[in-house]
Chains A and B, each alone.
Chain A
Amino acid sequence: MSEAREYNVIEILLVEDSESDAQLMVEALNEGKLNTHITVVEDGVEALEYLHQCGTSPPDLILLDLHLPRMNGHELLAEVKKDPLLLRIPIIVLTSADNEQAFLEAYDLHANCCVSKPVDQEEFSRTVMKIEHFWLHVARRK
């Protein structure tokens, strides 16, 4: 990252190729009480480049869609979870579950959890807020 990281800012990386979904998620995340900074990238290659340039200050949380151009979510999961510098970052897979197998593979690749993206927009926002609440207020991170 080019600028120094502000103290106590929670960094969230959002890997999502749908602009409308990303927008909705950013809005939902910004409603939380914590000081969050959200970076949105559209595919796995971009996500990996971003993570590698973070060095010793990786994001606190990654929200990952599985259907992505260039490098898909499963490939990105495999890369992150075998990298000793990155594997501790919780990865929440959030995707339209059209295929159960995709979730099972994500768990096999050590996704921290998988959540099905609700079709209804309000429910989608509520789901994102619940993910944020659990991972930033209840679960411990590195």
Chain B
Amino acid sequence: MSLMNNGGRPIEILLVEDNVEEAELTIEALQEGKVRNRIHWVENGEEAMAFLRRQGRHSAAPRPDLVLLDLRLPRMSGQEVLAEIKQHPNWKRIPVVIMTSSDLETDILGAYDRHANCYVTKPVDLDKFMAAVRSIEDFWLNIVCLPAA
């Protein structure tokens, strides 16, 4: 079981990533997985908030089942997006996985203090990068029960 009461619908993933190449690789690795998913990619923090609020071009956006969030983002940082999600009564249960190249302890601690569900450092090496995304897919889409509410 990967999604509670999902009625067979795909898992909706919001990917917040400003690096085009890394976003494409992430999408590729996620789509190789066993669990059917739909990835919605936005490139900055403000876009992520607009997606969650269903504003502008995101008026028909689904509620994400999982958020994959980079920290270094233009306009609004990943930590700010994380704080907004985790302070919002209707969004706080959405799991947020931080995927960042930052290895800084202040980033790791800051993310967990804001209730990030998990923090993964993106490896620079291509094969290791793909392996890390596959590990996230394998754990969060196959083992975890995501809250489908």
Contacts and interface: CB of A to CB of B under 8 A. Distances in A.
Indicate whether A and B interact: yes
Interface of A: 81, 84, 87-88, 90, 97, 100, 103-104, 107-108, 110, 112-116, 127, 130-131, 133-134, 138-142
Among A110, A127, A133: residue with most chain B CB under 10 A:
A110
Contacts of B139: 130-131, 134, 138
Given A103-B145, A103-B147, A116-B1, A108 B93 contact: yes
A97 B1 contact: yes
Mostly, the B contact residues are mixed
Contacts of B76: none
Interface in B98-131: 105, 108-109, 112-113, 115, 117-121
B125 to A, nearest CB: 15
A115 B137 CA distance: 15
Contacts of B118: 90, 112-113, 139
Interface in B46-63: none
B92 interface: yes
22 contacts: A88-B109, A88-B112, A90-B118, A97-B1, A103-B4, A104-B4, A104-B93, A107-B92, A107-B93, A113-B95, A114-B145, A127-B143, A130-B143, A131-B139, A133-B135, A138-B132, A138-B135, A138-B139, A139-B119, A140-B108, A140-B121, A142-B105
A140 B132 CA distance: 12
Interface residues of B, number: 29
A81 to B, nearest CB: 7
Contacts of A112: 117-118
Given A114-B144, A139-B119, A104 B113 contact: no
B137 to A, nearest CB: 11
Given A113-B140, A116-B145, A138-B136, 20 more contacts: A81-B115, A87-B112, A87-B113, A87-B115, A88-B109, A100-B4, A100-B5, A104-B93, A104-B149, A107-B92, A113-B117, A114-B144, A115-B144, A130-B138, A130-B139, A133-B135, A134-B135, A140-B108, A140-B119, A142-B109
Nearest to B1: A116
Contacts of B147: 103-104, 107, 114
Nearest to B97: A139
A113 B112 contact: no
A108 B92 contact: yes
B139 to A, nearest CB: 4
A36 to B, nearest CB: 18
A48 B21 CA distance: 45
Interface in B67-95: 86, 92-93, 95
